[in-house]
Structure 1
Amino acid sequence: MYLPEELELRLDAESAATGVSKAALIRRGITELLDNSSRLRRNRPLPVFNSGRSLTPEEMADATYEHIEERAARR
């Protein structure tokens, strides 16, 4: 891992003081950073199909792929 020496020393000290592994502290820090990020998250809604009748699994798969291809073509 490539951390500046000061951060490495602080991480070692925190790990020793808390009994939490350095890896767990790093994962916790990354999770907190990402959870608190103000960057917009890209939550895309799932496609909705309303054909008025139940689709077979094959028809549903075909409709899903068709929808994906249409969205990709618009980009």
Structure 2
Amino acid sequence: MGQSTVAELAVIWQEVFGEEPDLDRELTELGIQSVKLIEIILRVQERLSVTLSLDAVLLATSLRTLADEVDQVRDEAA
């Protein structure tokens, strides 16, 4: 997992939710709303050039595991 991916996801998270994320806290504990998830998916696509499915985001247990998913999608596209 690239540290830059985690850092970029943390910035996106802070923009969408207005708070600094705990990188290891389970995303389901953070009270994520579906509209906000879609906003995160769109920002990831725009900034990181990675298209994530809603399932991929919902299955990620933390921002770190979501970063792993982003890196995996990038690797598969290369």
Does TM, normalized by the shorter one, top 0.5?
A: no
Bigger Rg, structure 1 or 2:
1
Higher helix share: 2
Q: TM-score, normalised by structure 2?
A: 0.29
